[in-house]
Structure 1
Amino acid sequence: MDTLNQIALPLCGGLAIAGLVLAYMLFRRRGVASGLRATAWALLPVAAYLTGALSALWTIGATVVGFVTNLVLNPMVWAGVALAGLSAVLFIVSGVMRGRRLRKSADPAVAAEAERPAVGAKPQQAPGARPAAGEPKRAQKAGPKQAAKDDDFSDIEELLKRRGIS
């Protein structure tokens, strides 16, 4: 760290001087706002040196570079990455297989649960039965495809009529 302190002061001072020259040029060409922003940037290296933050930033940077270098160049790490990928693929495949098995299950409780209508759902009518009196006339006269299509919009039409919107 002693070497860092010997190199850091001249380096930070040089960066600050170069930034202040650039800030002066920006004052003249682009105005006060650009010049002040450049001055603020130019003062940061000296501030980092004086507060001791520069050594902390150096340590963080060296640690990150060391971690990335060891990650990229280490075959054991790549073996671990490959195993993690294989594990993820196996989780996905087993989930798909389990879902298919549950759908094809011959368990009577599961089959009965699937066939039971949801709470508040309309009871299903037999194919030849007449529609109830509350259903729209178009659904009574049309074929099965048209009746299903009209039935989807009949609730909306009824709501609009109640609100006075045609």
Structure 2
Amino acid sequence: MIAETICSAVSAAGLGIAAITAYRRRFLAAARIAAYALVPVALVMTGLVQWAADTAFSPVAWAGFGVLAVSWLLFMTTRAVERRGGGTRKERRAAAKAAKRDAVEPAASAPSLGPGGGQVAQPGAKPRAAGSGDDFSDIEAILKKHGI
């Protein structure tokens, strides 16, 4: 009952301010203020204010909000642990094994340009003709490097 009275008072005050604003010939602003002023009365008429008041003073509703908070906290904690690379012991071992296998080997740092790929063209030298096997030599070297 008190919530409905407060909402009605707020609406009446807002409509009074809208009337003063319209008197000053600021009609657009007055219409906007009147629109905002009618919202509390509309909420009272739809019963939403009564529902909100019942929910605010209900211990069961607050327990439900607490359960929602715990659920959200668990969800966010598991996401944070997952992003940091946590997980089961089996997953960590598999990741460590893969990291050890993918370690850089001394030969892996050599350029994989193929035969004569890194040479600078000499002045007056003829450019070599690309054969059918030379087209994909760079791609083959990259695939071999990654074990594919």
Q: TM-score, normalised by structure 1?
A: 0.44
Q: TM-score, normalised by structure 2?
A: 0.48
| Structure having the larger proportion of residues in helix | 1
Q: Relative CO higher for 1 or 2, CA cutoff 8 Å, sep ≥ 6?
A: 2
